[in-house]
């Protein structure tokens, strides 16, 4: 997979472009950086006039970061005159005023002047001077135009590679094919019907929580909310997501990951049904099975179950004992169980029916026969003080496993 935007599986941009001429470059690293900038923006012809370091140069290759084909095509010249001998239009880049009667332009204007000449087959040259002091006056005199950049006058010197990049960027922006990618359109724009349905839901739920206060500002607040959404130019997927968010917040989440759908009283009724008829049984009269309701209960705990479980998983004394909530054991469903410790916890409701009490007794006997210790906890005790309940559970742990209280 290509990294950092370099993809060798794609075709190299092979557009005709100006020639880059570096006059007496001092460091191989800067030549490599210039070659890299050229490769970024589709320039391929690089000429060097009397480079100070021997050529080829390993440091140039390292800094080119993959632009080897440009370095391999480098032409070396002894004089600037020879390097631009076949060029019909020459630009000199400089940060200093040379007091010469030549048009001074910026990089975008230079690109506009170069394009028709390059397209006509002319050789156009871009001159860049030495790292230390740039181009000399006599070298600028060989150019037809001067290119300079709007930079901080107190710190106008650019790195050689940076200077090449600025001009090459403006060239490729004009001569290239535009941006390489755009935002993917994965969903069509939302229709007004969908948007208005979302606003209906939003308005209803905000009314439920008395958001529009004072009442006389309700119309203005609704208008502002509509404008906020419409300025987004939402897609169909955007509206579906926002609609789901509002609905989820309004309905609430009641499971262990707040993914449930039952209220506390409903979850308590389900618990009572399972206690009376068992996870593998049937409803009264055998009309409808209750198989699978245990899984629904696991996603929809009662307030007492949630309080005890939340307290238990935060208590260091129970860490590492693999406690789980509502995992079936045979045909029985203890509320909390540790298989390694063979310890089961049963929550007992205060209004437990006789049938539920009988079923719980049978379940405890079944677990005890299989070497499980069963700890029965009253729902009222959890609601009164969950910490005291945890102390009691800690006493049921093997003595070597009891840590200090958090």
Q: What are the domain boundaries of the chain?
A: 19-175, 192-251, 264-401
CA dist., res. 288 & res. 272, Å (int): 16
pLDDT tens, 363-373? Answer: 888 888 888 88
Selected residue with higher pLDDT from 198 and 333: 198
How confident is the model at residue 288, as a pLDDT? 44
Band (341; pLDDT cuts 50, 70, 90): confident
**Position with higher pLDDT, 49 vs 261:** 49
> 192-251 has which fold?
Helicase, Ruva Protein; domain 3 (1.10.8)
19-175 and 264-401 have identical folds: no
Tens digit of pLDDT for each residue in 200-232? Answer: 999 988 888 788 888 899 999 999 999 999 998
Distance (Å, whole) CA 406 – CA 394: 12
User: Quick one: DSSP state of residue 192?
Assistant: H
Domain 19-175 is classified in which CATH homologous superfamily?
Answer: SPOUT methyltransferase, trefoil knot domain (3.40.1280.10)
pLDDT band at 308 (very low <50, low <70, confident <90, very high): confident
Supply 173's token pair.
């922006």
* Mean pLDDT for the stretch of residues 268-289: 52
- Is the pTM of the predicted complex or chain greater than 0.85? no
Q: Quick check: 281 pLDDT over 50? A: no
- The residue with tokens 């001074």 is 104
Residue 86 dihedral angles phi and psi, to the nearest 5°: -100, 15
Report the C-alpha gap between 98 and 127 in whole angstroms. 15
Lowest mean pLDDT among 41-50, 234-243, 271-280, 388-397: 271-280
- pLDDT > 70: percent of the chain: 80
Report residue 271's pLDDT band, with 50, 70 and 90 as the boundaries. Answer: low
Task: Check residue 303 and give left, alpha or beta (phi > 0: left; psi -120 to 50: alpha).
Answer: alpha
Would you say 236 and 190 are in contact if contact means Cβ atoms under 8 Å apart?
A: yes
CATH (residue range 264-401): 3.40.960.10
């Amino acid at each position: 997979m290509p990294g950092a935007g370099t993809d060798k599986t794609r075709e190299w941009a092979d557009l005709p472009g100006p020639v880059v001429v570096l006059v007496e470059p001092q460091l191989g690293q800067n030549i490599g950086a210039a070659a890299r900038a050229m490769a970024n923006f589709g320039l391929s012809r690089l000429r060097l006039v009397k480079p100070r370091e021997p050529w080829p140069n390993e440091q140039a290759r390292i800094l080119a970061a993959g632009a080897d084909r440009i370095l391999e095509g480098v032409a070396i010249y002894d004089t600037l005159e020879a390097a631009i001998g076949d060029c019909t239009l020459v630009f000199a880049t400089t940060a200093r005023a040379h007091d010469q009667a030549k048009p001074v332009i910026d990089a975008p204007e230079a690109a506009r002047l170069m394009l028709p000449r390059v397209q006509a087959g002319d050789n156009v040259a871009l001159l860049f001077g030495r790292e230390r002091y740039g181009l000399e006056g006599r070298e600028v005199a060989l150019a037809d135009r001067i290119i300079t950049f709007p930079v901080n006058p107190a710190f106008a010197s650019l790195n050689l590679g940076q200077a090449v990049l600025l001009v090459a960027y403006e060239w490729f922006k004009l001569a290239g094919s535009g941006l390489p990618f755009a935002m993917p359109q994965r969903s069509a724009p939302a229709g007004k019907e969908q948007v208005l349905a979302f606003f209906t839901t939003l308005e209803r739920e905000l009314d439920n929580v008395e958001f529009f206060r004072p009442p006389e500002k309700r119309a203005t607040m609704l208008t502002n909310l509509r404008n906020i959404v419409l300025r987004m130019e939402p897609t169909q997927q955007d509206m579906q997501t926002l609609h789901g968010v509002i609905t989820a917040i309004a309905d609430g989440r009641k499971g262990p990951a707040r993914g449930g759908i039952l209220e506390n009283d409903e979850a308590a009724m389900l618990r009572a049904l399972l206690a009376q008829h068992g996870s593998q049984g049937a409803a009264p009269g055998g009309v409808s099975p209750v198989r699978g309701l245990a899984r629904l209960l696991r996603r929809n705990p009662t307030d007492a179950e949630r309080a005890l479980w939340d307290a238990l998983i935060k208590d260091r004394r129970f860490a590492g004992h693999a406690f789980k909530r509502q995992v079936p054991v045979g045909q029985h469903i203890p509320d909390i169980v540790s298989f390694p410790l063979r310890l089961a916890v049963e929550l007992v409701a205060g209004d437990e029916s006789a049938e539920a009490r009988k079923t719980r007794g049978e379940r405890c006997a079944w677990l005890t026969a299989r070497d499980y210790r069963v700890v029965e906890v009253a729902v009222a005790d959890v609601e009164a003080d969950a910490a005291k309940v945890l102390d009691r559970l800690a006493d049921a742990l093997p003595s070597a496993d009891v840590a200090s209280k958090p």
